[in-house]
Amino acid sequence: MADRPLLITLIGLIYLLLGLVFTFIGALIAFGMAAELADLAAMEGTVLTIIGAVVLIFGLINLIIGWGFLRGWAIMWYLGVIFNAIGLLFTIGGIVMAALLPFVVPLVIYAVILYYLFRPNVKAFFGI
C-alpha cells in the first residue's frame, strides 16, 4: 500500500470531527430535547426525534468514512466519492434555488475533495 497522502489524513480527520459533532448533536436532539419537549404536541416531538436520528446516522457514517480514510480502506474511497458527489449536487441545487453566496464555499470544498480523490496517488493509497 502507498503512503497516506497528507490531504487524505486531513480529510479523514475532518470527517471524524464532523462525525463526532453530528453524532453528539443528533443524540441530543433525538434523545434529550425530544424528551424535554414531550409536553408539546406529539407531532413536534416525533419530528424532532426523526431529525435527531437522521443527524445521528449521518454522524456515524462520517465517523466510519473518516476512520476508513485514515486506514486506506478501498470501500471508503467509493463512499467518499458518493457522499461528496451528493453534497456537490445538493449545493448546486441550493445555489440554483436560493441564489445564495454561502453555498459557494461548500461547492468549492466538495469539488476539490472529489477532484483530489481521483488523483493517482490517492487512488493508489486506497488500492483503486
Rounded mean pLDDT, 69-82: 92
Q: How far apart are CA 4 and CA 126, in angstroms?
A: 9
Would residue 60 count as lying in a domain? yes
* pLDDT for the residue numbered 27: 87
Query: In which domain, by residue range, is 95 found?
Result: 6-126
φ, ψ at 31 (rounded to 5°): -105, -35
Angle between helices 104-117 and 74-98 (to 10 degrees): 150
Q: How far apart are CA 86 and CA 84, in angstroms?
A: 5
- pLDDT above 60: residue 35: no
Name the pTM for this structure. Answer: 0.77
* pLDDT for the residue numbered 16: 94
Rounded mean pLDDT, 50-59: 87
Would residue 35 count as lying in a domain? yes
Would residue 24 count as lying in a domain? yes
Q: Which is higher by pLDDT, 78 or 42?
A: 78
* pLDDT for the residue numbered 92: 80
CA nearest neighbour of 122 among 12, 14, 40, 32 = 12
Q: How many domains does the chain have?
A: 1
Would residue 1 count as lying in a domain? no
* pLDDT for the residue numbered 77: 92
State the CB neighbour count (10 A cutoff) for residue 52: 20
Q: Confidence class of residue 100 from pLDDT cuts 50, 70 and 90?
A: low
- pLDDT above 80: residue 103: no
